[in-house]
Amino acid sequence: MWLVDFLFGVKKRDVQQQTTREPDVVPRLAPGTQISYNIDLIPQLRAEHQQLLKLFAMINKAFAGNDLVLTAKYLEDFRRGIQSHLLTENIRFYIYLEHSLGQDTESLGLMRDFRQEMDTIGKAVLTFLGKYKDIATRPDFSIPFAKDLEDVGKVLVDRIKREEETLYPLYFPVY
């Protein structure tokens, strides 16, 4: 039950915020959904980005120090973090945007392009993480891992920058 509450933003502070807002300024649900605007969502997603980048740096540092056990641990932490982030974006962000942008075909098209690209990136990152989950017991993975890690890092940094600059500003309340 807590997962449903988390995904749909039912938290005590949300309820408190809703009860303190003026009735004529309470955002509505995105048309055709049960998902409402959440003022905390974009800050949460940005904080998750920072945590993912921090974990990625920790993976790099552990690998550079030839600590493959710690590298594997951080890869698992990163996998859990990225899966959680992607789930939040898919349920609370993309579905809300898809339904709230309405007739704004240009913004809707941009959002759909971003979403499709993220699906591709997400699958590639999860494939990378699956491929190297046993790096602690497979030192022969070290050579290809270094290049693959660098490639994932470049894609991750570029995607986060573009999301935060271009896509996140499209998220606003529907009244």
Residue 125 pLDDT level (bands cut at 50, 70, 90): very high
Q: Is 51 exposed, middle or buried (0-12, 13-18, 19+ CB in 10 A)?
A: middle
The Cβ of residue 136 has, within 10 Å, a number of other Cβ atoms equal to: 16
Any idea which residue has 């449903």 for tokens? Answer: 4
Q: Can you tell me the mean pLDDT for 34-53?
A: 93
Residue 86 pLDDT level (bands cut at 50, 70, 90): very high
Question: Distance between CA 62 and CA 76 in Å, rounded?
Answer: 13
Beta bridge partners of 36: 29
Is the pLDDT reported for residue 18 higher than 70? no
Q: Which residue has the higher pLDDT, 19 or 45?
A: 45
Residue 24 pLDDT level (bands cut at 50, 70, 90): low
Any idea which residue has 């046993």 for tokens? Answer: 134
User: pLDDT digit string (tens) for 132-143?
Assistant: 999 999 989 999
Residue 9 · residue 15 · CB < 8 Å: no
Q: Which residue has the higher pLDDT, 14 or 167?
A: 167
Query: Mean pLDDT over all residues of the chain?
Result: 85
User: pLDDT digit string (tens) for 25-36?
Assistant: 555 766 776 778
Residue 100 pLDDT level (bands cut at 50, 70, 90): confident
Is the pLDDT reported for residue 12 higher than 50? no
Beta bridge partners of 29: 36
Per-domain boundaries in the chain = 2-170
Write out the DSSP string of 11-73: -HHHHHHHHHS-GGGPPPBPTTSS-B--TTHHHHHHHHHHHHHHHHHHHHHHHHTT-HHHHHH
| Residue among 99, 82, 81, 114 nearest 37 (CA) | 99
The model carries a pTM of 0.79
Is the pLDDT reported for residue 14 higher than 50? no
